[in-house]
Amino acid sequence: MNQNTLCPRFEKAMKLISQRWTGLIISQLLTGTQRFCTIESSIPISGRLLSERLKDLEKEGIVRREVFPETPVRIEYSLTDKGLALRPVIKELEKWSQEWIEAET
């Protein structure tokens, strides 16, 4: 494959996934559909930043946001097929980090 066609896509993917908290959000959603408050309580992130990241991931077609017209309104987030395709990448990165990265004390 021509490097000119690979590099921009790879760079865009790395830029998207390497944004602070994005990998953890995807990892959290790999466990299944969740509400905003569940994601927020599982990751030490502000609500504003979580909302921003979820919007970015939704725009990229990685996260699906579903609104249920109830009282109060219920909103759930899940991974699309595109997002679920990241499972092997995230799992391998988790495996690599367990073997090679030391925990901060």
- Tokens standing for 16? 């998207």
* Residue 89: Cβ within 10 Å count: 13
pLDDT of residue 105: 73
pLDDT of residue 6: 66
Q: Residue 45 — φ and ψ, nearest 5°?
A: -135, 150
pLDDT in tens, 9-29: 889 999 999 999 999 999 999
Extents of the domains making up the chain: 3-100
Q: What CATH number does the domain located at 3-100 have? A: 1.10.10.10
Q: Residue 33 — φ and ψ, nearest 5°?
A: -60, 140
Are the C-beta atoms of residues 73 and 59 closer than 8 Å to each other?
A: no
